[in-house]
Amino acid sequence: MTVLILTSEEDVTADMVVLRLGEAGVPVVRLDPADLTNGVALSGEYARGACRGRLSVGGRLVDMDGLRSVWLRRPGTAAARAAQPSAWLTEESAQALYGMLRCTGARWMNHPDAARRARYKPWQLRLAQRAGLPVPDTLITTFPQAAREFAGRHPDLVVKPVSGAHPQEPPRAVPTSRVAPDTDFTAVAYGPTLLQRRVPKRADIRLTAVGGTLLAARKPVAPDAHPDDVDVRFAPSNAPWAPAPVPPPVAEGVLRYLRGAELAYGAFDFAEDAEGVWWFLECNQSGQFGFVEMDTGQPIAATIADWLAGSGSPQAGLLDDEEFSGF
Amino acid sequence: MQPFTLNYARPAVQLDVTVPYAYDSGLQLNVLPDGRIAATDHATLRALGTTTSTAGSKTHFDD
């Protein structure tokens, strides 16, 4: 049984998992959907009440019935590198590939439907609340007056993109940023704005969840750090990430979250406050993990490889909680 | 008429880094010029930041 990895060639983080699978003797086929019709080929036949699909790349041919798992890591846009790419060809190729893969019994990390839903940060916040994770008070609005009233209740605020996406023309980054007390909120009317109570943090937490295995890492905030340095991705810090134990209530909440989101993998970001409370910020369903593994030595790649190579329920090890059915 | 959130945007850091490794379709891994597997060279990966959570990715926004 083969593990199928859908990702770009330059994804060296995926290499860490390919290596582990190779060491375990697990067959792997890796391809980028962007190469469909130009290096990647597929075929599926529906006949006599059955469906049989095949994929080929780089001289490897795999029967889709022989897939044990699919790792939807960082795939390119389907057929983006075809000889004559087009929006139509992309849609055709994506429908063919993902449609046929959905016909298999392979388990997914993560299933495309779950992955798509899990990217909605407003939905993440509500699911985290329902999972029992502390969520900082948050407002998403296009009403300037609502923003002013929220700022009145929470004088120390941050703003960040609702989607997590960054504008590209021209390329810009929008880090989580502190909002000054005398800010004019008029421009809130021109785009949905996510305002959140700033958590005065003593550490950033990155918790990587693989199935039921939780691996947390902690990066302390420097005592002389400026309070405006809110976003760990931009903060000037050389402190390494270090392994951290997961408080049991957080572990229970994270496992409930994963089950509610139907995710097999999630990279959770928390802010740890002065009392040691881990405040949920977001869960990246395809978050990076290589930098954490290299700092902490935590076996994240090996855990992912074990999950991909394993069998049984995709969410084995997660708490059973009917509260989330249909959420 | 600029949305409020974009008041906090800054120019994205353009990483014009040429990675020293290339994909080997036989191994299904990226390989350094001396034949070593790139993923085992943590010093290189740290220097390039290619496994890091970064803001402003053009293709993926959940890092």
Which of B1, B7, B8, B24 to mutate to test binding with chain A, by most A CBs within 10 Å of its CB?
A: B8
Mean pLDDT of B3-18: 85
Residues of A whose CB is below 8 A from B19: 10, 12
**Mean pLDDT rounded to a whole number for chain B:** 83
Measured between alpha carbons, how far is A91 from A76 in angstroms, rounded to an integer? Answer: 13
Report DSSP state, residue A119: T
Collapsing DSSP to helix, strand or coil, A53 comes out as: strand
* Regions of chain A where pLDDT drops below 50: 326
Which of A9, A12, A26, A284 to mutate to test binding with chain B, by most B CBs within 10 Å of its CB?
A: A12
pLDDT given for residue A316 in this prediction: 54
Q: Is B15 on the interface with A (CB under 8 A)?
A: no
The model's confidence at residue B61, banded by pLDDT at 50, 70 and 90, is: very low
Tell me how long chain A is.
327
Question: Please, which residues have CB within 8 angstroms of residue A288's CB and are 6 or more apart in sequence?
Answer: A13, A267, B51, B52, B53, B54, B63
Position of tokens 């999630």? Answer: A266
The model's confidence at residue B58, banded by pLDDT at 50, 70 and 90, is: very low
Position of tokens 């890796």? Answer: A30
Nearest to A151 by CA among A135, A136, A164, A138: A138
Collapsing DSSP to helix, strand or coil, A115 comes out as: helix
pLDDT given for residue A134 in this prediction: 98
The domain A2-109: what is its CATH number? 3.40.50
Measured between alpha carbons, how far is A100 from A16 in angstroms, rounded to an integer? Answer: 27
User: What are the boundaries of each domain within chain B?
Assistant: 14-48
The model's confidence at residue B50, banded by pLDDT at 50, 70 and 90, is: confident
Interchain CB distance below 8 Å, B5 and A193: yes
- B21-49 tens-digit pLDDT: 999 999 999 999 999 999 999 999 888 88
Residues 162-221 of A with CB under 8 A from B: 162-168, 170-175, 177, 185, 187-188, 190-194, 206
Nearest to A13 by CA among A313, A305, A235: A305
Interchain CB distance below 8 Å, B11 and A9: no
Q: Is A74 on the interface with B (CB under 8 A)?
A: yes
Half-sphere exposure of A165 (CA within 13 A, CB side): 8
Measured between alpha carbons, how far is A208 from B51 in angstroms, rounded to an integer? Answer: 14
Is B57's pLDDT higher than 50?
Answer: no
Considering only the beta carbons, identify the residue of B8, B30, B51 that sits closest to A174: B8
Collapsing DSSP to helix, strand or coil, B31 comes out as: strand
pLDDT given for residue A226 in this prediction: 82
As its CATH architecture, domain A137-198 has 2-Layer Sandwich (3.30)
- A162-187 tens-digit pLDDT: 998 888 888 899 999 999 989 999 99
To which CATH superfamily is domain A110-134+199-327 assigned? ATP-grasp fold, B domain (3.30.470.20)
Nearest to A269 by CA among A299, A289, A298: A289
Measured between alpha carbons, how far is A31 from A133 in angstroms, rounded to an integer? Answer: 37
Considering only the beta carbons, identify the residue of A16, A160, A173 that sits closest to B56: A173
Which of B1, B5, B27, B31 to mutate to test binding with chain A, by most A CBs within 10 Å of its CB?
A: B5
Interchain CB distance below 8 Å, B53 and A233: yes
pLDDT given for residue A317 in this prediction: 54
User: What are the boundaries of each domain within chain A?
Assistant: 2-109, 110-134+199-327, 137-198
pTM for the complete prediction? 0.92
